Chains A and B, each alone.
Chain A
Amino acid sequence: MTDSYDIAVIGGGIMGCSTALRLAEGGMWPIVLDQGDLGQGASGVNAGTLSLQIKRVKLMPYALRGHRAWEAMGDAIGFRKTGGYTLAFTDGEAELLQERQTLKSEAGAPIEFVTRKALREAAPNLSHKIIAASYCAADGYANSSLTGQYYRGRLRDAGIAYRERCGAMAVRREAGRFAVETPAGTMHARRLLLAAGAWLKPVAAFLGVELPVRVRINTVSVTERMPPLIHHIVGHATGLLTMKQKPNGTVLIGGGWQGRGTPQEGRGEVTAETVAPNLALAQFALTPLKEARILRSWTGFEANVPDFYPLAGPLPGIEDAFVLGCVRGGYTIGPFIGSLMGDLILGREPELPLFDPGRDFDED
């Protein structure tokens, strides 16, 4: 094994792995390094929701192509296109739903508004207190637990080098290439891609670059196996709930309720004060869920920057270094934006424009 590569990818999640795959297709020789196992960060612990109804308007073209990428991955990643409902329980929520989903629909998402009667026929177990709902037939989910297994297989099939439990301890620019110090020794590469998710800030700091990355600590919970309760994925107008029943009967519940902890300390922690209303809201929306027992709750770090648009492009001020992360809706968009990133690094024109990490970040 050599220790000199065309590019070192720091971070073996969806972003890093999908970029590496495109780079290898384009003839480059990458190595993917991860501090833990592949796909065990946000890529592997998120709720797996693939919903156009919660994507940003400007990111819709990316999300639509991301959906296609997931559909192509299919069974290997537990993809299911179920259609999804977003629910409103109050007049305020209904108004919010109407306004936001109309804009998303105009941006190309096949979103429609459904009557309460139609909703009750399609999803009889949902609460009768729902006053308005939108539906998107393209929505569904994938099994995020399989991210690591899936990309490990893809990297191996493509002959791409990867190292697990091999995090970057320091990164230097020396003699026209990058030296990445890891527990397994120093790796050298001509180029560098930072795709370290919630850990982007400390990794970029190795090169003296300050990225305005912040982190949310999202909580996800799962129930024991239940009889069929709901076929579609479910969301809430405020975003405070996502829910889906997996083929094995377990129900996965998310909604961005915040746990605590920091990426530097390792994993985040669930807090009772936030997981409880999350689970209460879930059974408020899906009444028979009250019969279920909760087996596990966990958290995942979601990175973002102040304008909530991706960091996807050259790392400011460092030649041959790139960064990809902080993509809102990153699970959905990841496989697609990774291939765009690969094209950029290969010197090709990406199909859709990327997002300059050197832009001014306006707090508002």
Chain B
Amino acid sequence: MTPLLQNHRSPVQRAPMVSFTFEGEALSAHAGETVLSALIRAVHLYLRDAPEDGAARGAFCCMGLCQECLVLVEGRRVESCRQVVHDGLAVEALKRVPHD
């Protein structure tokens, strides 16, 4: 993956990279950063479809309230803005279940 963002002008020393997957795609992240941060840097802003109208959604409040950035980790629904990346973490997008 090539980060689209340039190196930070203000020098920031970050933890070594680890690997994780989103929907099976291999991505890298600095150990200890949030899944949301890693996904944003990989330009994965679209995280799921709204359950009612199927419209695309991504993170919104970034502080664990709005539930827009939910993803699945080991079958559990977690807020990607609160879930920390560790090596080998497998993150899946929530699947929309249309109803009548």
Q: A residues near B, CB below 8 A?
A: 224-228, 247-249, 291, 293
Contacts and interface: CB of A to CB of B under 8 A. Distances in A.
B77 A247 contact: no
A247 B99 contact: yes
Interface in B48-100: 51-52, 75-77, 95, 97, 99-100
Contacts of B97: 225-228, 249
The 9 closest A-B pairs by CB, nearest first: A247-B99, A227-B97, A225-B51, A247-B100, A248-B99, A291-B75, A249-B97, A293-B77, A249-B99
Main secondary structure of the interface of B (DSSP, over half): loop
Given A227-B95, A227-B97, A248-B99, 9 more contacts: A225-B51, A225-B97, A226-B97, A248-B52, A249-B51, A249-B97, A249-B99, A291-B75, A291-B76
Interface of B: 51-52, 75-77, 95, 97, 99-100
Contacts of A247: 99-100
10 contacts: A224-B77, A225-B51, A226-B97, A247-B99, A248-B51, A248-B52, A249-B51, A249-B97, A291-B75, A293-B77
Contacts of B51: 225, 248-249
B91 to A, nearest CB: 16
A24 B1 CA distance: 71
Contacts of B52: 248
A293 B99 CA distance: 19
Contacts of A291: 75-77
Contacts of B99: 247-249
A363 to B, nearest CB: 47
A226 B52 CA distance: 13
A225 B75 CA distance: 14
A224 B75 CA distance: 14
A224 B70 CA distance: 11
Nearest to B99: A247
A39 B38 CA distance: 47
Nearest to A228: B97
A225 B48 CA distance: 14
A228 B95 CA distance: 12
A289 to B, nearest CB: 12
